[in-house]
Every structure is written in C-alpha cells, then in structure tokens.
Structure 1
Amino acid sequence: MELRQIKYFIKVAEMEHVSEAAAELHVAQSAVSRQIANLEEELGVDLFFREGRNIRLTPVGRIFLDHVKIAVVELEKAKQEVYEFLNPETGTIRLGFPTSLAAKTLPSVISAFRKEHPQIGFQLRQGTVPELTTAVIQGHIDLAFVSPVPHKQTDVKGQIFFTEKVMALLPLNHPLADEPYLRLVQLRHEPFVLFRQGYILRDTVMKACQQVGFNPRIAFEGEDVDTIKGLVSAGLGVSLLPEITLYGSSEQEWKAIEIIEPNVKRTVGIIIPQNRQLAPSERIFFEFLKQFYDKLNRFGE
C-alpha cells in the first residue's frame, strides 16, 4: 500500500468521479483508476460501487476512508514536526479562535509575536468552542483560543490567561442606559439578541438569566459580535457581551453597563492537545503567550 494510492483514493472518494479527481490531482485518469484497482486488489475488497461515470463508496470503503484520512493527517503532521525540529523559527502554526476573540485578542497577540518571530507563519481557523476543541483533538489544528477554558477534559489541556466581565449592552435611548450598573433581573422583560445555539456565549447568558429566575425572550440570533452590536444599536433588543469585544468600539448607538448581580464572568485562554507534544514552533508560541499575558496581568492591563 502506497501513500500515492491513499491520496488518490481520498480524492476520488471526495469527488465521487474518477476523471474529475484525476484533473484535481493533475494526473491521467488511467493512472488513478489503476492505483485504485491495485489498492482494492491488495485489500481484497471493493471500495467503490461503479455507476456509469460516477462512483460511490461501499460501506467498507467508507470505513477505510475514515481511517486513512486520519493516517494522512498524522503523516503530514509528522513531516511538519521533523521540519520544525530542524527549523523551529520557520514553522507554521494552525491556530483556532472563536468569533468573540477575533477583533481584539487575536490581532494583538499575533502582531506582538511576529515582532519577535517574523518567520513563523499562521493558518487561522474560526469556529465555535466545541468545533475548535474537536479540531485540536483530531489534529486538524495545533492549538486554539477558547472561552471559557475547560478544566475537566481528558483530551485537551487548558491554560487560562485572564478573566473578564460580561457586560450588559443596551441601545443608547434605553430607559436604563444611564444607570451606573445593573442587576440582570432588571432586563427580564426585554427582548434579547444572542448568539445562535452552539456558541458558548449563548449558554453563558442563558445560565445567568436562569440564575436570577427568568428565561430570556430571544428576539434575534447572530453569529458574530458586530451583528449583535448592530441589532442592539437599532433598538431591537439588549444583549450581554464580554468586555474585550467592546474595546475600540464607539458607544454612539449603544451603552455597555456592568452587571453586579449575578457576577457574570468568563475565562479566556488556550487549549493544547493531551495526546501529543507541541512541535517546536508551537511550543515557542505557547510559551510566548504565557509570558505575554503574565506581563499584562502584572501591569493590570
């Protein structure tokens, strides 16, 4: 069994068409067909149903695909780690991040890191915290910013960098907009603008509201911070957002107010895999992050 055969098999399985897969691979169709046939002969099973020009995986072919895709990822990772061991300052870090950390945290950290390590590159992937956690566990990304930081997961290890308040966000003309602080129960009759299901921030808001005795009436759902701010600014509801998402924003059309009851906070940090060691460039970045936030926390910024 050759790596070339495996790569041809994966491409054909994804496209369900031999000639189109061959075009993507920049090889002759006959070469792809021959390698697939050799692979099936070696395994002693049919990996595909042939249906004219189209093909599709057999049940055993689908099982085989699931395993070889993991194997190819591990092989590519092994090549990367060997290269980075020899050249730690020229590696590439696959970094995940949630939408709530996209505007402030991610750019400031990467900018500071690149000043010290200009040759290390990044491949960025945005997603929800559950999506990013799965990607780290499966090896699709190397490490990920998350919030909150998990502390009881066996597959990933969390490192907390800071804790921040979650603030109430109100339209500027709201009757409570001039209050110095709020109790969350004061918003029990308001329409809420929240992240859609699957986002941890939505769960944070729901639990906080339930803690003081009500379920929020959800008027709108969004997938990014700017959308939620815009809907609040338009007077379509109120929301709760972390402090860091409000930095650098104009308060001309909305007002952020501290919530004193309950005490709504979240941890922010990074997760790394438990089942493998970080590559040298990843370790450089991880150690940089710990020092970077240690300095910020000591100076109270």
Structure 2
Amino acid sequence: MEWQQLEYFQTLAQMQHVTRAAEHLCLSQPALSRSIARLEEELGVPLFDRQGRTIVLNRYGRLFLKRVNRMLMEFHMGKQELHDLVHPEYGEIAFGFLHTLGTGVIPDLLSAFRRQFPTIGFQLTQNHSYSLLEQLNAGELDICLMAQPTESKYPVQWIPLWSEEIFATFPREHPLANAESIGLDEIADEPFIFLKKGYALRSTTDQLFGQYGISPRITFEGEEVATVAGFVAAGLGVSLLPDVGLDKSKIAPVRIKAPKCERVIGIAAIEGRYMPPAAVRFKEFVRGYCDRITKSNLP
C-alpha cells in the first residue's frame, strides 16, 4: 500500500465522482481507477458501490475513511510541526468565529494582529457553534471565537473574553421602539424572528425565554443576523440581538431590564492538541487585545 493511494481514496470518497476527483488530483481517470482497485484488492473488500458512471462510498469505505482521515491529519500535523520549528515567524492560522462577530469585532482584531505580525496568514471560517466545534475536533481549525459551549462531546478548552448585551429589537414603527427598557414578559405575545437551532445566539435566547416559562411564537428562522435584522426592519416580527454594528435606521434596539440578557464570548481550542506557534501567538494576542478593549470600555 502506498501513501498516495490513501490520498487518492480520501479525495474520491469526498467527491464520489471519478472524473472530478481525477481532475482535482491532476491524474488520468484510468490511473485513479487502477489505484483504487489495487487498494481494494489489498484490503480484500470493495470500498465503493458502482452504479453506472456514479460511485457511492459503501459501509466498508465509510469505516476505512474514518481511519484514513485520522492518518492523513496526523501526517499533515507532523509536517506542520517540523515547518514551525524551522520558520516560527511564519505560518497560517485556521481561525473560526461566529457569524455575529463578522461585522466589526473580527476585522478590527485581525487588522490589529497583522500590524504586529505581518508574515502570519489566516484561513478564516465563519459558522455557527456546533459546526465550529466539529471543525475544531476534526483538526480543521486551530482556535475559534464562540459563546460558551453548553454541551460538547469534545475536549474543548474555552476561555471567556468579553460579554455582549442582548437587546429586544423592534421595527422603528413598533409601539415599544422608543421605550427606555422593557421586561421580557412584555413581548411574550409578539411574533419572533430568530436564528436557526444550532446557533449560539439561538441557544442563549431559548434559555432566556425558558427562565420565564415563555414559549415564543416564531414566524421565521434565519442563518444570518443581518437577515434576521432585515426581517425585523420589514415589520415581520421582533428579535433578540446583540449590538453587532447593524444599521439602526430601520430597527430599534431596546434594553431588557429583566432577566439579565447577555452572552459571553470566549476563545476555544481542543485541550491537549498541538497548536502551531503562530496560533499560540494569536491566542495570546486575542486575550490581551480583548482585555484592553474591555478595560477601556469600563466607566
């Protein structure tokens, strides 16, 4: 068995299309097919079910793919460790963050870091909490910024950085749009627009309503805060959102006086896993940067 056969198998398993996989690998289609056939012969089982021109990973293939993914991940991490020892001032950080942080916090943070460390690059991923945790565990991300995981099957180390107040958000023409503050019970009968299940902000809002025993009437669920805010602006409902740099010409954020409405954002990584020097440097920078910002905002 050759190392390249594992890489070919992984690519074909991901694409499940011989022609596209061969093009991606810069191989001829017959060469890829022969490599996979030799691998299957050596393993003694078929890895794909062939149906005309299409192929589908079978149960043997799915089982073997899990092992191959681990082997290749360890191999690439080993190469990265050696590279980092030789070139500690360079590197690329696989960094993930919540959708709601992309409008202001992340650009400012990355800009400040790049001014100090211009030779370090980034591979950025914007996603919701569940996917970020999966990507961390799979080794696709070094670190990420997210709300505290409420439930996680992965060994995640999460360090709190700052808290964000969450506001009741109304269309400008709503009767409560000019209120100084409201109680959550005052909007219990409103139609609500939330993010979909699985997003950290949605988990936080669900917990807030649960404290009051309120079952909100949800009319729409979105995948982006900007989309939710747009639906609110159109008069389709109200929402609970942090102040994340949204256009307030058409929406009105109002402070919630009870219960306390906030979420805590922190930095997460897989405990005990090797972290490249560039990522370690960035992690420490983020903690110092957020500490300075938090202190500067204190009264």
TM-score, reference length from structure 1: 0.91
Does 1:260 pair with 2:257? yes
- 1:76 corresponds to: 76
Which amino acid in 2 is paired with 1:200? A
Q: Deviations over 1:15-50 (max 9, x none)?
A: 444444323211233332332233233323333344
Q: Give, in whole Å, the separation in 2 of the partners of 1:275 and 1:162.
A: 24
In angstroms, what is the RMSD of aligned CA positions?
Answer: 2.1
1:114 aligns with 2:140: no
After superposition, give the CA deviation of every residue in 1:231-264 in whole Å (9 maximum; x if it has no partner).
1111211111113x1x3x4422211111110001
Identity of counterpart residues, as a percentage? Answer: 38
User: Quick check: 1:279 aligned with 2:266?
Assistant: no
Q: CA deviation at 1:144?
A: 0.9
> How many aligned residue pairs are there?
298
What is the letter of the counterpart of residue 148 of structure 1?
Q
Contact 1:181 1:257 in 2 (8 A): yes
User: Which residue number in structure 1 is paired with residue 179 of structure 2?
Assistant: 179
1:150, distance to aligned residue in structure 2 (A): 5.7
Q: Give the 3-state SS of the residue equivalent to 1:214 in structure 2.
A: coil
Aligned to 1:129: 129
Matches within 5 A, 1:224-239: 224-239=224-239
Gaps (5+ residues) in structure 2? none
Q: Partner of 1:240 in structure 2?
A: 240
Deviates more, 1:147-156 or 1:230-239: 147-156
Which region of structure 1 is more displaced relative to structure 2, 140-149 or 8-17? 8-17
Write out the 4+ residue segments of structure 1 that deviate beyond 6 Å after TM superposition: none
C-alpha displacement of 1:73 = 2.2
Q: Is the 8 A contact 2:154 2:270 kept in 1?
A: no
Tell me what 2:32 maps to. 32
Q: In 1, distance between residues paired with 2:169 and 2:122? A: 33
User: Which secondary structure state, in structure 2, belongs to the residue aligned with residue 194 of structure 1?
Assistant: strand
TM-score under structure 2 normalisation? 0.92
| Shift in Å, 1:154 | 5.6
- Structure 1 segments unaligned to the other structure (5+ residues): none
Seen in structure 2, the aligned counterparts of structure 1 residues 153 and 297 have a Cα distance that, compared at 3 Å, is farther
SS of 2:89 mapped into structure 1: helix
**Equivalent residue for 1:7?**
7
Whether the 8 Å contact between 2:129 and 2:149 is mirrored in structure 1 is no
- Secondary structure of the residue that 1:163 maps to in structure 2? strand
Name whichever of 107-116 and 86-95 sits farther off.
Answer: 86-95
Name the counterpart of 2:190.
190
